[in-house]
Chain A
Amino acid sequence: MRPIDRSSPGPGHRRWRGWRRTPIGLVVAVLLVIEVYPLLWLFLGSLKTQDEFLNRPTWALPVDWLNFDNYVQAWRSGVARDLVNSVLAVFPALAAIVLFGAAAGFALEIMVWKGRSGVLLVFLTGIMVPSQMILLPLFSVYFQTHLTGTLWPLILTYTATGLPLTVFMMATYCRSIPRELFEAATLDGASLLRAFWSIALPVLANAVFTVGLVQFFFLWNDLLIAMTFTAGSGHDELATVQVGLLSFQGRFGTVQYGPTMAAICVNVLITLALYLFCNQRVMKGMAAGAVKG
């Protein structure tokens, strides 16, 4: 493994050399505007009334900077409940995906047995199958097994749909761990399962984090599965963040712009907090354990 920690401070003049070249500065400035302006506009929008949306220019600043009615309305519509649902569905699935995926990757790449490339191939096909393909039968199965009406359909489906890519990536990472490491460990008397837990997992930690992160975004942003399995099963209280946002479309498509934007804002802020919290690890993890074909 190559050392990736390059954050040792370099000479000051080198560090800022790039900024003095105007074209680069310009590129960065444009990048910042493109990334930040829409979010800023979103926040301003969340303070506007429906009347301001309909009858005043879009670039106008909010009339009342302390108008938090939209937030109150958004909050009442269950933004908090949606968030809790998303967390309860996504994180258990994430844990299962990462743990099962790492174990399977280990078994497929480190362990030596006949037919493992075949099994890997079976997992690989799963990457290409659109999830629309599995919705119909799953709905029936969940219903017959009385799982409908709980978050389990989401957790189970998320776990299964996340596994193919995870197994594939984990197998790839495992390729870079020398087998001797485990042979040595087993000579010392540790069981192979133990070796997986105490040697492979820590070595793979960065990869685990990366995969977990990639999967997190997939699952967190899922609309299709959530829409099918939570809403309408007689249990409205199961809506996830995405489903909740969609239902801001009012009657006959009436959009309540202000509350919609406020709800988006709340979600953005919470995601932002979560993201800033693990940003360091995200970047390091992605850098260390990127997909290397």
Chain B
Amino acid sequence: MKIKYKGLSFIRQIALIVGVLIISAQVSFSNESEGRHLTNDEEAYDAGKMIIEHVIDAHEWHIMSIGETHVSVPLPVILYDEGEFVVFMSSKFHHGHEEYKGYKLELDGENKGKIVNVESGVLPLDLSITKNVAAMLMSMVFMSWLFISIARSYTKRKGMAPKGMQSLLEPLIIFIRDDVAKPSIGEKKYEKYMPYLLTLFFFIFLNNMFGLIPFFPGGANLTGNVAVTGVMAVFTFLITTFSANKNYWVHIVNTPGVPWWLKIPVPLMPIVEIMGVFTKPFVLMVRLFANITAGHIIVLGFMSLIFIFGNMNVGLGYGVSVVSVAFAIFMGLLELLVAFIQAYVFTLLSALYFGMAMEESH
């Protein structure tokens, strides 16, 4: 048992180092690509606009554009305005070129990409099934189907060796249980948190993977969206807060082992500790969002290079495409690794916070 633990901590260290390297590499890469496309703003092809449009949410699921024809999946728009719900398909906007029922989709300016009431100019409460919501619902249906069917094979083939899908995902489930939940939360209490941790891990992991698929069923940058990562961070925060014991609060209000003058008269330590309570989920939110979005931006940046150079000279574009595709493939492989690492890190940190909240005084 000892050896196993040592080996694992070694793997964890390597994963951490690789993770840090990737994060720092991505930040520097993304700065570079941003610098590049800014200089090409005057071109007909706007790389920055294209990249941002690809990583943010939208009211329609854009598949491709052939000349001026846009092929996209229309999604339902749900608005709550002036006390009533307004529901229609986003295709009514004709990609923002037309108004419908007194609403229009802003294409430029401050409210770019948002639906505005034409008469009053205010923004209605937008509960539309956007691209990300649709992707999220699809992934959830997929997850429910996947895991419920696996669960059925567990009840059907009781006590037997895993088979098919079951044996593919079982190592991950056991990994979350034995190497994330058990050491972080403790043997006694981990079971209560397993459903949340497993759901969290697989939701992040699968959506990271779907985000890497460049066309229709995938391609939504779901885990690279602050709203999504923020909601997950809030879940972790709420579970941490509600499972906290007395010892946790004592630690925050009256941190033991700290000189008294750090607490009275100016409650310096309590302030730091209370800030820490909120920074933990905040960091969870930003880490996942930044990692996934940065990865997408880099790949899109490499792709943009082809068109930027292609606009200058067609031959140059073809020449650059070789290098760009090679780099994009490399980034894609790196992203596969990041998809797992980020899901793992989010889950591990959540588990660690739960464990810290329930730690007994020593």
On whether the two chains bind one another, the answer is no
Q: A residues near B, CB below 8 A?
A: none
